[in-house]
Structure 1
Amino acid sequence: MTTFLKSLIFLQDSCLAFLSLMFHRGSSEDAAEALKKLETSINGARISFDTTWTREFRSLFIVPLFKCLVAFCLIISLLVFIEGIYMNLVVLYVKVFERKPEKVYRWEPMQEDIELGHETYPMVLVQIPMYNEKEVLQLSIGAACRLIWPLDRLIVQVLDDSTDQTIKELVNTECAKWESKGVNIKCERRDNRNGYKAGALKEGMKHNYVKLCNYVVIFDADFQPEPDYLQHSVPFLVHNPEVALVQARWRFMNANKCLMTRMQEMSLNYHFMAEQESGSTRHAFFSFNGTAGVWRMAAMEEAGGWHDRTTVEDMDLAVRAGLLGWKFVFLNDLTVKSELPSKFKAFRFQQHRWSCGPANLFRKMIMEIIRNKVLFSIYLFNLDKNVPTIFFVTRPITTLVFCSSC
């Protein structure tokens, strides 16, 4: 501040010199030279003032702000690192002590009763949302219709939002083909695309025949389950009433297509084998992946069903169900074939949705999480198995910090 005061005094002296000059009776050349010197002095004082003010403002506000931001990023990075170590230790524990879901939860294969026959099997709804999926519609519909399950206890629902009339006709032809083989298949369409995938799933749940079903399976159009998928997954829900979701692992058919797909495979394999398996083992909670999972209808209804308020409707539903105390089971040994984005544009859109979606969801649900005392449980390290864990803090905040464009 001393330099700042000196600059003001110098400016004042310069002004006094200028006033004296006005009354000076010397030659015009002397007056012009004096004015030039005065102008130079004033400019120098102004530059000194600007430099001093900038330096003072930067030291008082800018530097402390950036120090706080750097410290905050370091804390978040440390939390993510600790979480990664923790998850890998949990996975190691599962491998060493063979704590597979079949040993943690009750699991028995479904069997027909001599008197009741197929009535012992629960009603299962298979939903396939699609939008102009010309290349894979036959594969996805065919894979769903080949699932090993009593035909009178299975409903396949194709949610076709396609805008191309040719593709609509292809979907109709494929559905008619499987219907002629005895499969109970429904093709449902809307006159709009409100809510996109979440809107289609929500509309699909409104039909009367859906009320007869106990469980619902979601497969994206580029996913092809193995025929024994239901035989491995549904028994967890039948014999464990506290379980709301059974999630299978994705298996990528085009992982070796290019360098980008190989990198995606490594990243997603870590997501499944470390993040989701540790969440399932330690806390019975992880984020639903939006496909290749079986939901208990009662749990979905209690959680409020599908919401289209964000681009991660799958995580939205999982968080709401987790806050209500429902448990999730991840099956690492049960895989579903899928494909990875092989073009950068599709990959970029996918990553943007996966990054910004959780951040937007966190902003919308932060009060619900606080009311559920999840944050307090995390703070006290009292991580009960019935509540979501540090997932609620590290993932959204990390996204908000490193993806501020959301």
Structure 2
Amino acid sequence: MTTPSSPALPRTSPPLTVTVIIPAHNEEAGLPATLRSIKSQSVPPDKIIVVDDGSTDHTGAVAASYGVTVLRPPGNLGSKAKAQNHALPHCDTDLILAVDADTVLAPDYIEQLKPAFDDPAVQVAAGNVQTRFARTPWERGRSTEYLFGFHWHRPIQQLADSPMVCSGCCSMFRRTALEESGGFPERTIVEDMDFTWSQQAAGRRAVYVSDAVAWAADPETLTYLRKQVWRWMAGFMQNVRLHLPRLLTRKPMLATWVIVALLEILAAPLWWAAPVLLTTAYHEPVPRTLGWWAGAELFLTIPALLYAARRRRLPITQVLLNLPFVYLNKAVNLYYAWKALLVELILVPLRLSRGLVIYEKGR
């Protein structure tokens, strides 16, 4: 007599483990909110490491008061990537979540991001970044940039399986991919874009998860905005120089986004000068040409902002009132984009400049 055998239960993999790395240099003011957001996650991390990178304030003591692991290099390491790499040997989890010391995560950030790594091809993922504060003109302009970029550009890039960057303030990495790559990239001034592009060029995946939300503290003054935008633009051009030839053959869709971004930088001065050029060439009244130009700008911008406001449950009036300030930021962006193009794509290959090699904080 035989008894029927029980059906085999499906094998389940153990849950992926997570270490959070927070590089911090003089971040005693912003660090508590960051740590509170991490310690209150619906899916808590297995380990939290703060790298007190040469701070001259109470960053280390603040971090220790939250019961996290605090690492103190002998001296300031000089960049975020180097501080993150200082912590990497202390990590033995499946995933590494790199969080800036002034970024606050939504309570379900880790819960939203982890499922992306059920696909073994995914090596890096990040969520939707919004501004924590909108007090100064520069912060208000940045809030508009983020609303537009993370609800228009980034979803389109994700649909094409080729996001331009997984934001370094809140990106999650597969630890084995980092170790195989030699850690967080230090060869460019923006490690997040470097890793995002190199992994996709190698046939692996980067993912944007729109439902995972983080709030970053952005530059509140022009001085810090200039430093941050110069670093971002120089880093973008460094990655163009380093990766674009390979992307053209290995990841043509990502190469397409890169080329479009370069063309936008080249064409931007012509677009900004269009009202003057049209008035001069066709003798049109200035109010008419300005009206045409402003109408085109609003047509290309407002629908995405209205969608973003609804998605983020933000007051539409406030979103629209912040819109004029984005043009202050755009002027700064354009200046440093052209400077970076000249320095990193022309002067550096000609050995007339070393390019940007010193990491400066943006706030």
**Structure-1-length-normalised TM-score:** 0.59
Rounded Cα–Cα distance in structure 2 between residues aligned with 1:283 and 1:266? 25
1:335 and 2:227 matched = no
Residue equivalent to 1:197: 80
Residue equivalent to 2:55: 163
Rounded Cα–Cα distance in structure 1 between residues aligned with 2:21 and 2:54? 15
Q: Which runs of 5+ in 2 are unaligned?
A: 1-10, 267-335, 345-363
1:361 counterpart SS class: helix
Residue equivalent to 1:314: 192
1:393, distance to aligned residue in structure 2 (A): 3.1
Match of 1:241 among 120, 125, 128: 120
Larger gyration radius, structure 1 or structure 2: 1
For the Cα contact (< 8 Å) 2:112–2:209, is it kept in 1?
A: no
1:165, distance to aligned residue in structure 2 (A): 5.1
Matches within 5 A, 1:58-97: none
Rounded Cα–Cα distance in structure 1 between residues aligned with 2:144 and 2:14? 41
Q: Which runs of 5+ in 1 are unaligned?
A: 1-115, 180-184
Match of 1:221 among 98, 101, 109: 101
For the Cα contact (< 8 Å) 1:359–1:396, is it kept in 2?
A: no
More helix by share: 1
| Alpha-carbon displacement from aligned partner over 1:94-119 (angstroms, at most 9, x marks no partner) | xxxxxxxxxxxxxxxxxxxxxx99x8
2:58 counterpart SS class: helix
Residue equivalent to 2:89: 206
1:250 counterpart SS class: strand
1:205 counterpart SS class: helix
1:120 counterpart SS class: coil
* Aligned residue-pair number: 263
RMSD (Å) for aligned C-alpha atoms: 2.7
1:344, distance to aligned residue in structure 2 (A): 1.0
Rounded Cα–Cα distance in structure 2 between residues aligned with 1:167 and 1:218? 17
- Which residue identity is paired with 1:166? H
| Alpha-carbon displacement from aligned partner over 1:336-392 (angstroms, at most 9, x marks no partner) | 1222211111111111111111112322x14xx43x4x32578xxxx4xxx623134
1:391 and 2:243 matched = no
Residue equivalent to 2:30: 136
Per mean C-alpha deviation after superposition, the further-off stretch among 280-289 and 395-404 is 395-404
1:206 counterpart SS class: helix
1:396, distance to aligned residue in structure 2 (A): 5.5
- Which residue identity is paired with 2:70? C
- Which residue identity is paired with 1:125? T
Matches within 5 A, 1:294-373: 294-363=172-241, 365-366=242-243, 369-370=244-245, 372=246
Rounded Cα–Cα distance in structure 2 between residues aligned with 1:205 and 1:377? 29
For the Cα contact (< 8 Å) 1:124–1:154, is it kept in 2?
A: yes
For the Cα contact (< 8 Å) 1:285–1:322, is it kept in 2?
A: no
For the Cα contact (< 8 Å) 1:248–1:293, is it kept in 2?
A: yes
For the Cα contact (< 8 Å) 1:300–1:321, is it kept in 2?
A: no
| Alpha-carbon displacement from aligned partner over 1:48-99 (angstroms, at most 9, x marks no partner) | xxxxxxxxxxxxxxxxxxxxxxxxxxxxxxxxxxxxxxxxxxxxxxxxxxxx
| Alpha-carbon displacement from aligned partner over 1:31-52 (angstroms, at most 9, x marks no partner) | xxxxxxxxxxxxxxxxxxxxxx
Rounded Cα–Cα distance in structure 2 between residues aligned with 1:303 and 1:270? 32
- Which residue identity is paired with 2:96? V
Rounded Cα–Cα distance in structure 1 between residues aligned with 2:95 and 2:15? 11
Rounded Cα–Cα distance in structure 1 between residues aligned with 2:170 and 2:140? 21
